[in-house]
Amino acid sequence: MRDECLNEHVFSSLADAQQIVEAWRIDYNTVRPHGRLGRLPPAVFSATRRPEEQGDGTLRSIGGFAARPLAPSTTRAEVL
């Protein structure tokens, strides 16, 4: 994000920054293909997965390097 968006723009205001970052986010998640997802955009990739492949609705690692979480995820309401 820094190389492709933040370093490429000069923001004139907070509203300008929000608009540019949101446009970049939408492009990144819905249009741009990702090599680790079989050259599909994340939105298309997640729409083609069966629910049992993504049991809790999160995008699973596909041979990545991130460690699995030690504790189950909780919502903010559960914490409060």
- What pLDDT was estimated at residue 53? 54
From the list 42, 8, 44, 40, the residue with the least C-alpha distance to 25 is: 42
Q: At 75, which amino acid appears?
A: T
Domain boundaries, the chain: 1-53
CB proximity list for 40: less than 8 A, separation 6 or greater? 33, 34, 48
- What pLDDT was estimated at residue 51? 56
Measured distance CA(47)–CA(26) in Å, rounded: 16
The string of pLDDT tens digits covering residues 15-70 is 999 999 999 888 888 888 888 788 888 888 877 776 555 555 555 555 555 566 66
Half-sphere exposure of 38 (CA within 13 A, CB side): 8
Entry pTM: 0.51
Q: Yes or no: say if 24 and 7 are a contact pair by the CB < 8 Å rule.
A: no
